[in-house]
Amino acid sequence: PDHEDFAVRTAGMPGLGILGATFGYVIAMDSPSGRPPEQFQWGTTLWHEMAHVFTLEATDHLVPRWYSEGISVFEEWRSGPNPGVRIPMTVYNAMQDDRFLPIASLDEGFVRPTYEEQVIVSYMQAGLVCDFIDRHFGGDKLRELLNAFRDGLKTDEAITAVTGLEPGDFDDRFSDFVIGEHGTVLDQLQHWHHTQNEIGNKLLAENWPEVIELATELTGILPDYIEPDSPWLAIARAHNELDEREAAIAALETFWQKGGYDPAALKRLSGWLAEAGREGTAIDAMMSVMLVDPLDVETHGELGDLLLAAGRADEALREYEVALALEPHDMATAWYRLARAEHELGNDDRSQAHVLRALDVAPHFRPAQRLLLKLAGGTTDE
């Protein structure tokens, strides 16, 4: 699957950054393999598109683009697979440059953008508008806006009818809300960018103590920042280089708990947690990878191994079946893993069939030989 194919099929032209599109009850999405894993969390994208189904159908498809996108972003933040309000640095830069649009013309940011990043800025502004309405006027007003759009009102008319504010007054109140929520970050944005550059230099110089010092300072400014240049990742790397594994785990775990979804980082965290005897949390971290990179065969195998060791053979079997369906290079190990899970579940006939398939691929595969001997009533687990 190729993202550009998806863009052409859904929007008619390549080069668009869309991850999904909703047409009434029909949802089209990028394949999980259509983009690099660290750029695309398909679970959140599906949640976003599902919200469009409701806003489109509730308004007979009369909802303006900004409001449908705003509700979808708001639902991502509030109840999606990876909840929490997270603002990309591009959007903070736009806030500082006063590039948010008036509510009456917010649709223009989606359909007639005037600068490169305006579409993503408009997505985030629309989500923040919905957050503002929910917190200052109540969640019922979000539903009332849907009804107003269904009845044919335009954005300026609907805002006044539902909130009692003229569009200009609404803009002023919203601006105050944004400053109240994010003003501290905006005041330190230039310092943030300068310090990020310094961290990059210290990483290149392998000056790990200074990396930790500078990155820790940034986590105090913006603790929920989980983009690829997140300071939490720099802290984890530096502590690991200094053989301070416990501190490295703490940093990566914080990154994950705040919504970080870089698959390489989460796999590393899962491995470290397993080594530290925290198998349950290791499993949870590895399961988070499935919302980002569900087609990686090694991840399914490793997750299955963790589940099997934890006595969760039924879940391990599911992961091993997925790994086999992905046609791994090492088919012998894939069949052997299935055999082990079936044996743990008491399904020895199926286990024997799987282990024979493993030995058919690799006749001298010793773990499979030992399992077959055990199933035949011979010896041992050694």
Query: Has residue 382 got a pLDDT over 50?
Result: no
Model confidence band, residue 380 (pLDDT cutoffs 50, 70, 90): low
Q: If we measure between CA atoms, which residue out of 237, 241, 312 comes closest to residue 268?
A: 237
User: CATH 1.25.40.10 region(s) of the chain?
Assistant: 189-375
pLDDT at 351 over 50: yes
* pLDDT reading at 203 higher than 70: yes
Homologous superfamily of 189-375 in CATH? Tetratricopeptide repeat domain (1.25.40.10)
Average pLDDT over residues 325-352: 97
**pLDDT beyond 90 at 233:** yes
Determine the number of helices (DSSP H) and then strands (DSSP E) in the chain: 20, 2
3-state DSSP of 203-225: HHCCCHHHHHHHHHHHHHHCCCC
Q: Mean pLDDT over all residues of the chain?
A: 93
What pLDDT digit, counting tens, does each position of 101-116 carry? 999 999 999 999 999 8
Please tell me the chain's helix, strand, coil percentages from 3-state DSSP, rounded to the nearest 5. 70, 0, 30
Higher pLDDT: 4 or 285? It is: 285
Residue at 100: amino acid letter: F
